[in-house]
Chains A and B, each alone.
Chain A
Amino acid sequence: MAACIEARGLRRSFGSTVALDGLDLRVEEGRILGLIGPNGAGKSTALNAILGLTRYEGDLRVLGLDPWTQRDQLMRDVAFIADVAVLPRWIRVAQLLDYVGGVHPRFDRAKAEGFLAKTTIQRTSRVRELSKGMVTQLHLAIVMAIDAKLLVLDEPTLGLDLLYRKQFYDTLLNDYFDRSRTILVTTHQVEEIQDVLTDFLFIDRGRIVLDCSMEEFESRYAEVMVGPDRVEAARQLQPMRERKVFGRSLFLFDRVNRERLAAIGEVRTPSIADLFVAVLGGAS
């Protein structure tokens, strides 16, 4: 089966700064993939390359197309929210729906109206008159009414309050995602999307440093809370990382037998954020 996104040796530099340093990536259809990395790791450049917004060296195919030369064709099957504040501020909600309906062959206006009916957004309002949360709801309503194969979200909940952030992912999962669509999301709020993802990637200095499915993550990594008397025993098992919380020690293990871990303390699934710190915190 052809991959939704396939990149090999993707490179891009801005002057002397290398944003993408030979990035390899393969995203299968029907996944919800989180792209996680520190600032300046190359996340946005990678997304921009996938969306045909920036040029690159190397091989890149998105839904079988070359994003840089075939962006307009690609955008029939790809939807993206680049960040919360990109809807034109002067436009009226009704005009926006008219326009997208006029130019996008896969836009279902009735569906968008349906999503908007659940909000307090007025058709006659201009975008500039809406709150940040409402603008996000509006953008999400439009994007979800587009029958796309790939949805790309770049920091979609940046600057939103807790309620909207929670609602954003709930709506996305319940009303939009089905197994035939692929979603690619970047965010700094890793804990927010941990339950949503099927896969995640750590990116650092323009390269993928970890590529992991959630099943693999849950079976492979374990966090153990250990009392002071078992600390030495825990260290013998070569943890990835050790930290102290309220006088107790927390160890993160990679591929260590669960029974052996259970013998030294309380075992649980770590958060992606903890793994991120363990993988990237040590490197830098």
Chain B
Amino acid sequence: MSDFLRETSASAPLTNARPIFWSIKRELWENRSLYLAPLAIAAITLFVYGLSTFSLAPRLREAELARSQSIVMPFSAIAAFLLISSFLIAAYYCVDALNGERRDRSLLFWKSLPISDREAVLSKAAIPFVVQPAIVFLIALLTQLNMFAVSIAVLASHGISPARLTARVPLAQMTVIMAYGLTAHVLWLAPIYGWLLMVSAWARRAALLWAVLPWLVAMALERILFSTTFLGDFVKYRLTGAMSEAFVPMGNEDAILRVSELAPLKFLSSAGLWIGLVLAAVFLAAAVRLRRNREPM
């Protein structure tokens, strides 16, 4: 037994982490919009928010009197906006990830290196599943911290204690909520990313059309032939279901601001989550096979 262990550990390639690490780095070199787009959104938001702080002090007093959430709204909105745009950027990335390398024939170069198709597809899948969410989380958090710091400075110049802002903007709780919401959404959207990667590996051209059009046509046909909307409801549930499955909204505010509104157990016991994850795994396995079989265009 100990001999067996020694042997496997000796032959197990310790270098496996390096190809994946460099492949992910390579994806970031090629697709700079993965971080430049959220950075641009964050920069614009910060600028606009900075301009709006001139009226922050009177608005804070108003909000305290009316017990309204108006002060925290920009913080929550920037997080939501960055998160939604990150899903779009990731989806856009997936559509091209395995198509572009065949289109420009660079696939022949990538395949001349000792990286398996599984490693290549997994390092590409790591972008929407891990890397991009992590980048967006950091950017959103830094943006919020910046907005917070600017607000405190402006209020201090009016002689207002920072504690009054902290009472209105529960930054720590919001960070937990953001991390949770991001994770829940990525897991929930996993089959969509998987589907897009698979179509990207399969389609000769117009991968985006192949990824979207069949669904639209099927939905239209269902409506015309059966006057039902099962498929449309299914797609809508898959796109937006994470909100209803992973959260229990309380109160009638537009934003989720309390950790008690998170429902991880409900989310983990949702069949939709697990079915989606299984589908994502199937799609990724298919993408690996397709990358192996397809010749460059």
> Which residue numbers of A lie inside 8 Å of B, CB to CB?
48, 51-55, 71-76, 78-83, 85-92, 95, 98-100, 102-105
Contact (Cβ within 8 A) B30 A91:
yes
Contact (Cβ within 8 A) A71 B116:
yes
- Does B205 lie at the interface of the complex (its beta carbon under 8 Å from any beta carbon of A)? no
Given A54-B295, A91-B30, A105-B15, A100 contacting B114 (CB threshold 8 A): no
- Bound complex: CA A79 to CA B108 (Å): 11
Contact pattern, B 279-295, Cβ under 8 Å of A = 1, otherwise 0:
00000000000000101
Some 16 contacts from A to B, beta carbons below 8 A apart, are A51-B112, A72-B115, A72-B117, A75-B111, A75-B112, A82-B108, A83-B105, A83-B108, A86-B108, A91-B26, A98-B22, A99-B22, A102-B18, A102-B19, A103-B19, A103-B115
Closest to B31 in A: A90
Residues of B within 8 A of A100 (CB): 113
Given contacts A72-B119, A78-B112, 18 further A-B contacts (CB under 8 A): A51-B112, A53-B111, A72-B114, A75-B111, A75-B112, A81-B112, A82-B112, A83-B108, A88-B30, A89-B104, A90-B29, A91-B30, A95-B29, A102-B19, A102-B25, A103-B113, A104-B114, A105-B114
Residues of B within 8 A of A79 (CB): 112
Contact (Cβ within 8 A) A87 B22:
no
Residues of A within 8 A of B22 (CB): 98-99, 102-103
- Does B270 lie at the interface of the complex (its beta carbon under 8 Å from any beta carbon of A)? no
Residues of A within 8 A of B21 (CB): 102
Contact (Cβ within 8 A) B113 A48:
no
Residues of B within 8 A of A53 (CB): 108, 111, 295
Residues of A within 8 A of B29 (CB): 90-92, 95
Given A75-B114, A89-B104, A103-B115, A48 contacting B295 (CB threshold 8 A): yes
Given A91-B29, A102-B22, A85 contacting B114 (CB threshold 8 A): no
Given A79-B112, A103-B23, A88 contacting B295 (CB threshold 8 A): no
Contact of A80 among B19, B25, B112 (CB under 8 A): B112
- Does B47 lie at the interface of the complex (its beta carbon under 8 Å from any beta carbon of A)? no
- Does B109 lie at the interface of the complex (its beta carbon under 8 Å from any beta carbon of A)? yes
- Bound complex: CA A71 to CA B21 (Å): 20
- Bound complex: CA A151 to CA B21 (Å): 26
Nearest CB of A to B186, in Å: 26
- Bound complex: CA A73 to CA B119 (Å): 12
Contact of B111 among A71, A73, A89 (CB under 8 A): A71
- Does B106 lie at the interface of the complex (its beta carbon under 8 Å from any beta carbon of A)? yes
Nearest CB of A to B291, in Å: 11
Residue of B29, B30, B115 with most partner-chain A CB within 10 A: B29
Q: How many residues of B contact A (CB 8 A)?
A: 27
Residues of A within 8 A of B26 (CB): 91, 95, 99
Residue of B22, B25, B108 with most partner-chain A CB within 10 A: B108
Nearest CB of B to A106, in Å: 8
- Bound complex: CA A104 to CA B114 (Å): 6
- Bound complex: CA A57 to CA B118 (Å): 23
Nearest CB of B to A151, in Å: 10
Nearest CB of B to A189, in Å: 20
Nearest CB of A to B63, in Å: 48
Contact (Cβ within 8 A) A86 B106:
yes
Residues of A within 8 A of B101 (CB): 88
- Bound complex: CA A91 to CA B113 (Å): 16
Contact (Cβ within 8 A) B106 A88:
yes
- Bound complex: CA A200 to CA B295 (Å): 27
Residues of A within 8 A of B25 (CB): 99, 102
Tell me which residues from 77 to 117 in chain B have a Cβ below 8 Å from any Cβ of chain A: 101, 104-109, 111-117
Residues of B within 8 A of A92 (CB): 29
- Bound complex: CA A81 to CA B26 (Å): 20
Contact of A90 among B30, B111, B112, B119 (CB under 8 A): B30
- Bound complex: CA A55 to CA B114 (Å): 18
Contact of A88 among B19, B109, B112, B115 (CB under 8 A): B109
Nearest CB of A to B44, in Å: 26
- Bound complex: CA A82 to CA B104 (Å): 13
Nearest CB of A to B127, in Å: 16
Contact (Cβ within 8 A) A87 B109:
yes
Tell me which residues from 5 to 39 in chain B have a Cβ below 8 Å from any Cβ of chain A: 15, 18-19, 21-23, 25-26, 29-30
Closest to A79 in B: B112
Residue of B25, B114, B115, B293 with most partner-chain A CB within 10 A: B114
Closest to B22 in A: A102
- Bound complex: CA A51 to CA B111 (Å): 9
Contact pattern, B 29-67, Cβ under 8 Å of A = 1, otherwise 0:
110000000000000000000000000000000000000
- Bound complex: CA A74 to CA B117 (Å): 13
- Bound complex: CA A82 to CA B108 (Å): 7
- Bound complex: CA A85 to CA B15 (Å): 29
Tell me which residues from 98 to 154 in chain B have a Cβ below 8 Å from any Cβ of chain A: 101, 104-109, 111-117, 119
Residues of A within 8 A of B114 (CB): 72-76, 103-105
Residues of B within 8 A of A55 (CB): 293
